[in-house]
Structure 1
Amino acid sequence: MANRTARAICFDLDGTLIDPYLGISRSIAFALERLGVAGVDEMTFEAFIGPPIQDAFQRLLGPDLSLTTSAVRYFRERYGEIGLFEATPYPEISAVLAELSAEASLFVCTSKPKIYADRIASAFGLDRYFAGIYGSELDGTRTSKSELFAWLVEREGLGEVAIAMVGDRSHDMYAAHENGVSAFGVLWGYGSERELVEAGAERLFSTVHELRTLPSIIGVEPRRNRVRRSSD
């Protein structure tokens, strides 16, 4: 097996590769306005970046599932047409991905629906660096990052490969540990250093430039990952 395919790096999307705040916050505001909900502050908007959108709305709006369903529908009405393009790739991320893709197989693993992740990666020219882009489905299938990660590994046949998960939120770290792979946190996103450390981040990166060291950190020799199969 060549060195490139002996290592795989899985990246979260929002808060790791791109800053999605403008599009997400405006789409949340649109949904809440349609529902007649007021008084939501900026910190609440930031909490929506990372977790599945259904979970974030339910925490905000309470146990009424019909209200959450309506909020998600209104959110997607704007986000799917406008909001997903109101994002900015982090500085240097394209150059770093270009370097990493020559040394490892790269994947996107995001709780965001795949239909959105594909369009975002294509719009910003990031798709060229990835062997695969994995996300949830609009019907809620695989919104669990741990389940999605297991499915990615199974689909790509990475069970004997040295793998790292790179992300900015606790659920990225939990997904990595639950699947027996390395968990690395980034500090330019929306999760705090404390959140990442408490979730078990093995290493923290302060700048995009530092990601260039990933291939040497995850090692060259293949190893068996303790992957929780998506069927478990």
Structure 2
Amino acid sequence: MRNYDVILFDLDGTLTDSAPGILNSVRYACRKLGLEMPAEATLRKFLGPPLIESFRTLLGLSDADANRAVSAFREYFPETGIFENEVYPGVPALLADLKAAGKTVILATSKPEAFAKRIMEHFDLAQHCDFICGATLDETRTDKAEVIAYALETAGITDKTGIVMVGDREHDVLGAKKNGLPCIGAVYGYGTAGELTNAGAAALADTVDELHKLLLG
């Protein structure tokens, strides 16, 4: 694995295990809208992709109902669901070691940026990031490729040499690819090795320790 100078990280399923809060927020939205509660397997598919896309494709909602579902989700998430979440063991040390090695660390998440900043500050991870970049609350920037492009622009990066994305779902790999970047798949997150490999991941990390070795040797 080559030496990277700039590392972009996904958040959910890569730095933190946010599944409980996200799934509880989806359940709340379904109850609020009077929808049939999805099976657990369907609920798990909400982990990773942009939220409005998931309500449309997984539950078959119209654009209007998907927007209503997102609004209901956000009644629960900012107050309760946001902190039904925990940092993966080894992540604080990984981020600290990357900064100590002089790397640029950027968060690039499809979670709304305001929520991402609160989470990173709550878990004391923001101190290790040069930039925290996310989606917009009005859904005008949710696609992972758009978020990555926004993160690179925010950081003032035009030379893409020595840059890598780290994420746990195919959306991370494909979003990185659209921006001309390789992606390391975090298999310990919500995706699978097969999903990440099929999407074109440059390498896979089964654990945070393996990711540490890939990024720092």
Counterparts of 2:170 and 2:215, CA distance in 1:
22
Matching of residues 1-232 of structure 1 within 5 Å: 7-103=5-101, 104-160=103-159, 161-215=161-215
> What SS does structure 2 have at the residue aligned with 1:45?
helix
How far off is 1:181 after superposition?
1.5
Counterparts of 1:182 and 1:77, CA distance in 2:
36
Q: How many residue pairs end up in the alignment?
A: 213
* Larger of the two Rg values belongs to structure: 1
> What SS does structure 2 have at the residue aligned with 1:32?
helix
1:61–1:67 contact (8 Å) kept in structure 2: no
Give the counterpart letter for 1:158 in structure 2: I
> Structure 2: which 5+ residue stretches go unaligned?
none
Counterparts of 2:113 and 2:21, CA distance in 1:
17
Counterparts of 2:157 and 2:37, CA distance in 1:
46
> What SS does structure 2 have at the residue aligned with 1:10?
strand
Q: Deviations over 1:77-133 (max 9, x none)?
A: 000111011101101111111111222110110001001000000111111100001
TM-score with structure 2 setting the length:
0.93
2:168–2:189 contact (8 Å) kept in structure 1: yes
Give the counterpart letter for 2:106 in structure 1: F
Counterparts of 2:63 and 2:171, CA distance in 1:
23
How far off is 1:195 after superposition?
0.6
Q: Percent identity?
A: 41
How far off is 1:155 after superposition?
2.2
> What SS does structure 1 have at the residue aligned with 2:114?
helix
> What SS does structure 1 have at the residue aligned with 2:117?
helix
TM-score with structure 1 setting the length:
0.87
Q: Deviations over 1:128-166 (max 9, x none)?
A: 100001001100122111112112112212222410000
Give the counterpart letter for 2:68 in structure 1: S
How far off is 1:214 after superposition?
3.8
How far off is 1:63 after superposition?
4.5
How far off is 1:216 after superposition?
5.0
The worse-fitting range, judged by mean Cα deviation, of 190-199 and 205-214 is 205-214
1:107–1:132 contact (8 Å) kept in structure 2: yes
1:7–1:215 contact (8 Å) kept in structure 2: no
Give the counterpart letter for 1:140 in structure 2: E
1:228 equivalent in structure 2: none
